[in-house]
Structures are given as C-alpha cells and as structure tokens.
Amino acid sequence: MKKTTLINSEVSYVIAKLGHFDAITICDAGLPIPKNVQRIDLAISEGVPSFMDTLNAVSTEMEIESVELAEEFPKLSPELHGILKDFIATLAAQRGKEITVTYVPHAVYKATTEKSVAIIRTGEFTPYANITLKSGVVF
C-alpha cells in the first residue's frame, strides 16, 4: 500500500503520466466536465472532499509550474480565494520556484478545461472553486 499523502490510484496514475505543460483541473461539484476528458469523481457529499484538501494532496506529488483560475473567483468567493492565494505562495516558497497565476473569464476557463488530461471533481460547493494546474519539471 502506498504511504504518501495521495493514495487515490487514479489521481496518482494521471500525475505519473504528466509531461511538461500537461494540465489537471480540480473542480467544484458543479463545473461541467467535457466528455472527452477523463473524469475522476471524488465527490461524496457537500464539502467532501473539499477543494483545498484535494489540492493539497495533489500538490504533494505534482510539480506545479502555473495555475489558471476564473477571474470571477476572487470577487464571488473571496475567502476561499484568499486561502488559495496563500497556499500557492507557500507552495512556491517551499519549492523555490515561482508559480504563475493566470485569470481568465469563467466562460473561457470552462472551454480550456477541454485541454486537461483529467478533471478531478470534488464535493466543494463554493462558487468558482476550480483550478487548472499545469505541470512543471522537477529539474
């Protein structure tokens, strides 16, 4: 049995296959998931698992170079957005590498999720709690 933080086999497998610039999206319970993208549905009930718990677990195994968010996120869910910004800053400091954050309109964001290798659906009910993680390299 795996003993690292991330023990979900589907998520671990997707991360293991990533190349530079490949993307994984972690989304709330309501984001539409394109039919052509692998869906990893972790949602059990409202808030389980949470967006931040899922992101934290994924970040233990994935080298994150940049992230994309909906530009509506800071205004419509400021508390979670602030927690996310702090998390990204801490992660960048721990790794000694900048993590670029890009904001796009939500309609554009939904369209770009089609380029994700996989979309991980959480039980998060906070509006706009979605993030696309772009893979970096460990060297």
Q: Is residue 130 a known part of a binding site?
A: yes
Residue pair 96/107 in contact (Cβ under 8 Å)? The answer is: no
Q: Is residue 8 a known part of a binding site?
A: no
How large is the C-alpha radius of gyration of the chain?
A: 14
Q: Is residue 128 a known part of a binding site?
A: yes
Q: Residues 6 or more apart from 109 whose CB is under 8 A from it?
A: 68, 69, 70, 130, 132
Q: Is residue 106 a known part of a binding site?
A: yes
Cβ atoms within 10 Å of 104's Cβ, excluding its own = 16
Q: 48 - beta bridge partners?
A: 45
Q: Is residue 28 a known part of a binding site?
A: yes
Whether the ω angle into residue 34 lies within 30 degrees of 0, i.e. cis, is no
* Catalytic residue from among 7, 13, 17, 20: 20
Q: Active site includes 81? A: no
Q: Which residues are annotated as a binding site?
A: 28, 106, 128-130
Would you name the residues annotated as active-site residues? 20
Which residues are documented as binding site for substrate?
28, 106, 128-130
